[in-house]
Amino acid sequence: MVKLTEQNLAMVETAGGESTVAETSNSPCPIRGIRYIILITTLICLASIMSNIVTFNFTVLCIRPQSGKELTNGINETAFRNVSHEGYSKDDKTIIFSSVAIGAIVTVLFVTHALQYFGLRVIFFASGMLTAIATMLVPLAVAQDNIIYFVILRICQGISFTICMPTTGAVTANWASLKQNGLFISTLVSFGQLAAVFTMATSGKLCMSRFGWPAVYYLHAGISFIAFGIWLIHTFSPQYIREILGYSVEHTGFSAALPVLVQFLFKIFAGYTSDKLRILSETAKLRLYNSIALGVSAFFLIILAFLPQGYPLTGVILLILATSMYGFNGGGFNKCATLVSRQYSAFVLGHIQILWCIAMLLCPILVNGMIGEGTIYDWRMIFLLHAFLSLITNVYFCIVAASDAAWWTDDERVKSRMISGDTFWWWRKEPEQV
């Protein structure tokens, strides 16, 4: 057995560490401090990857790809401040949105397995550089007036996105004790909310500034380069808010950022309280927090669906409440996955990311097919469908949820079954003791 310090530092070289709970929880003070540094820097890097993807979600309101004068006529303030969102057709937007998911789905299994051979440091840093370069080139691709260039860059962003959940699982499994499992997993999976808060808030200001929408991409690319550089050293629904609620482009950024900001805070709160709550069993806590995340959120979505047009403040409040409740999933299915899979968290969360990518692929297609003219009735159907799916999936989770480690996390037991010649050991439930 290697020393604890070497074992923890080896985490950045391999996605699947061999650290045990006892070793991690009894680590000396310097390691205890290092784990929080890694937690924070990893969260920032994950958020930068997601931010680069989210940039188009907002700049779609102000990009016009018909000509490259936004880039070539830098002194023309009017050209830079073109805020028309009619530059891309509805089908073009669907393709651009979906291309991220396509890139992620195609490569997610490859990236998960590559972690075992090249280590977390190499794959994660390479993903950071890929998304930074792709984001930096977006304004140039738009200036070419050919959607294919933009789609290729979005696919590259999707490829980088595949590392997010495996990294979350690896860092949680190797750096968090069981008592801190909820805190780590809920903090790391909040990268999406942290990204949206920053991107939506800054994009609205930059789009309306003299620098124009290209500055959004240059800023995010620069942050990615810096964030991953620091990480390497230390480790070793804007459309709805604008069209239905009637907010301006500038205010849409803040309004879209506010719900995910509150969700980010809820994630931290849920992760912390999930670890500290003692009156319920671990499985009961998983069911409770997941029901808050999906059930309560569905309740607010249903109310939002039937809110008459002309109540923008009430709509934003309901949207904040519905979105914020999802923060409790840090103590629900995300925590459940790490508790059950233990040292295989990176692999399991990698497959969860496949489902995430599929959702990213289907969501713009579904919205594009249902949105029609973008009326309040179209959005009502979208919110009701989302609420229905949330309720159904939560019921299923509550039935199958568990908090104990799966039998296949016992490497010696699995090895014994394989030696015994049981070809279908992986298909059955927990095997008999051998």
Q: Select the more confidently predicted residue: 15 or 190.
A: 190
User: pLDDT (tens digit, 9 = 90+) per residue, 289-308?
Assistant: 999 989 999 999 999 889 88
User: pLDDT (tens digit, 9 = 90+) per residue, 28-83?
Assistant: 344 455 677 778 888 989 999 999 998 887 787 777 654 444 444 443 444 334 43
Amino acid at 53: I
Tell me the C-alpha distance between 370 and 378, whole Å: 6
Task: Look at residue 235 in the predicted model and tell me its pLDDT.
Answer: 55
pLDDT band at 357 (very low <50, low <70, confident <90, very high): confident
- Kindly state the tokens that stand for 412: 């010696």
Q: Per-residue pLDDT averaged across 284-289, rounded?
A: 91
User: pLDDT (tens digit, 9 = 90+) per residue, 204-230?
Assistant: 788 888 888 888 898 898 888 888 876
User: By the 8 A CB rule, do 404 and 133 touch?
Assistant: no
Task: Look at residue 23 in the predicted model and tell me its pLDDT.
Answer: 38
User: By the 8 A CB rule, do 364 and 57 touch?
Assistant: no
Residue with token string 């809110």: 307
User: Three-state SS for 403?
Assistant: coil
All domains of the chain in start order, with CATH:
27-413 (1.20.1250.20)
Task: Look at residue 64 in the predicted model and tell me its pLDDT.
Answer: 60
Look at residue 159 and tell me whether its pLDDT is greater than 50. yes
User: pLDDT (tens digit, 9 = 90+) per residue, 106-125?
Assistant: 888 888 778 878 877 788 88
Look at residue 362 and tell me whether its pLDDT is greater than 90. no
User: pLDDT (tens digit, 9 = 90+) per residue, 72-91?
Assistant: 444 344 433 443 334 677 78
How many Å from the N-terminal Cα to the C-terminal Cα in the chain?
Answer: 26
Q: Per-residue pLDDT averaged across 134-162, rounded?
A: 89
Look at residue 338 and tell me whether its pLDDT is greater than 80. yes
pLDDT, mean over the chain: 75
Task: Look at residue 302 in the predicted model and tell me its pLDDT.
Answer: 92
User: By the 8 A CB rule, do 210 and 298 touch?
Assistant: no
Buried b (16+ CB within 10 A) or exposed e, 398-431: beebeeebeebeeeebeeebeeeeeeebeeeeeb
Q: Select the more confidently predicted residue: 257 or 236.
A: 257
User: What does the angle CA 202 – CA 206 – CA 207 come to, to the nearest 5 degrees?
Assistant: 115
Q: H helices then E strands: how many in the chain?
A: 20, 0
User: pLDDT (tens digit, 9 = 90+) per residue, 310-337?
Assistant: 777 788 788 888 888 887 887 888 888 8
Q: Select the more confidently predicted residue: 203 or 87.
A: 203
pLDDT band at 242 (very low <50, low <70, confident <90, very high): low
Tell me the C-alpha distance between 179 and 104, whole Å: 32
178: number of Cβ within 10 Å:
16
Task: Look at residue 82 in the predicted model and tell me its pLDDT.
Answer: 40
User: CA-CA distances (angstroms) from residue 101 to 155, 161, 411?
Assistant: 8, 9, 34
Q: Per-residue pLDDT averaged across 243-247, rounded?
A: 59
User: By the 8 A CB rule, do 281 and 403 touch?
Assistant: yes
Tell me the C-alpha distance between 322 and 316, whole Å: 10
Look at residue 286 and tell me whether its pLDDT is greater than 60. yes
